[in-house]
Amino acid sequence: MPSVVIRDVSLNFGVVEVLKSLNLEVGKGEFLVLLGPSGCGKSTLLNCIAGLLDVSAGQIFINGRNVTWDEPKDRGIGMVFQSYALYPQMTVEGNLSFGLKNAGVPKDEIAKRVARAAEILQIEPLLKRKPSALSGGQRQRVAIGRALVRDVDVFLFDEPLSNLDAKLRSELRVEIKRLHQKLGNTMIYVTHDQIEAMTLADRIAVMRGGIIQQLNTPQAIYSRPKNRFVAGFIGSPSMNFIEGQLAQHDGTWVFEAADLRVPLATYPFQETNLSPRAATLGVRPEHVGLNTGEGWPFEVETSVEVVEPMGSDTLVWTKVAGHDFSVRMATERAPSAGQRATVGFDPLRASLFDAETGERL
């Protein structure tokens, strides 16, 4: 049985449609990430699941129970917020036990659950402190603890790491993943950070304009993006795009742009009924070779414009068919600006999109 089911959920604020007849199923123990640019409706969807926003249409089921009209506390969810939202006048212990006191849980049971959560999150020495005496990472840990003590099946995270600095963020990211492996709860996690999404998720739902664009495993979304938006949104540095034409040449399909002709013999076409049309070719910088010497199915000579060393590797900017084209490569092999270089790639790992609809071909 799926843990959370969203059925045809719509949400309007006046005339603005934030969610458009959205359907989603989250399996038991699954870690689902809602990913998208700001304003795409991902946080709104999470608030609808939590019951903090009333849906305009549709139904929400949690553990097979229809909770569409239920209060947040009755839905069997715990929630972690971006700004931690700790009650400033209560101690850490008070923060953890507030929900349980409201639910009328017996005192010894509260103490037991608080102790367990504190142990899991290693915040035992902080229990008597006020939130103002905690660091950002500690505060977020307490906020996670507040969801933990509620002993619920579904955890909702609303950009929990966005307020932390880069180092703490990566630390807590690993910790959340560990927590998920240990507890096995269903987790729904909202973020605009694709690294978080890729590292944490069992499945990612990429959203835009209140619609789920693609729902799949991180690997599938990375290597076979369903449309041009997903392709451009996922991956850092982002994918190179070349505008051109899909055409037939000597019986095989080719992609033509300016004076280039990319043979598509190895490209895994999704559509069987192909016809010549305007198309966009997308290639990830890490799938491009520069001066490798090996024979790529497609190669072109160009000049190096800018070199950006990033420590672990280097991003080399060139021009292909008049478009900016970046290559990600080992720092020690990187050319310097102004040099001539040969770039090549295999269409097998590229993505081809219909220029009009943006859909993958």
By CB under 8 A, name the binding residues for another protein: 47, 50-52, 71-73, 77-79, 81-89, 98-99, 102-103, 131-132, 139, 146, 150, 158, 163
Is 316 within 8 Å of 356 (Cβ atoms)?
no
**Closer residue to another protein, CB minimum distance, 83 or 181:** 83
**Closer residue to another protein, CB minimum distance, 89 or 357:** 89
**Closer residue to another protein, CB minimum distance, 137 or 209:** 137
**Closer residue to another protein, CB minimum distance, 97 or 240:** 97
- Smallest distance, another protein to C-beta of residue 78, A: 7
- Smallest distance, another protein to C-beta of residue 76, A: 11
- Smallest distance, another protein to C-beta of residue 83, A: 5
- Smallest distance, another protein to C-beta of residue 189, A: 16
**Closer residue to another protein, CB minimum distance, 142 or 212:** 142
As given in the structure block, the two tokens for residue 119 are 């142990």
- Smallest distance, another protein to C-beta of residue 27, A: 23
